[in-house]
Amino acid sequence: MRPVGLAVAKAGREAGGAYFVLGYEEGRALLADGRRRKIAAPKKKNPRHIELLPPEQFAQAAAGLGEEVTDRQIIRALAAHKAGRMSQGGTEVWQKKI
């Protein structure tokens, strides 16, 4: 299944999480992140509870995806998108080593 968009959950347990939108079924968006929600069993979420990101961000995140998308590719694409989003605007992410 090829993703059609990129979204961030606004409500529910997964609020704030980034997901690829795989399509729509019965008025619900089908979301996958590759870890908790795999392509084989996507999360069905009300479209009002997600925020679709601009097509430019989707194109950038989906650039590395092949014709047959795997969960591993989705994990990598979302991690790269998250890292890029967190480093925008001069804000850098630092991890404290213990």
pLDDT at 90: 43
Whether pTM > 0.85 for this model: the answer is no
Both tokens of 81, joined, read 């998108």
The alpha carbons of the chain give a radius of gyration, in whole angstroms, of 14
pLDDT at 49: 94
The domains located in the chain, with CATH, are 5-90 (2.30.30)
Q: What is the DSSP string of 12-46?
A: STTTT-EEEEEEEETTEEEEE-SSSS-SSSPEEE-
Residues near 97 by Cβ (< 8 Å), separated by ≥ 6?
Answer: none
Residue by residue, pLDDT tens for the chain (98 residues) are 678 889 999 988 888 899 999 999 999 999 999 999 999 999 999 999 999 988 888 888 888 787 788 889 999 888 888 887 655 544 444 444 44
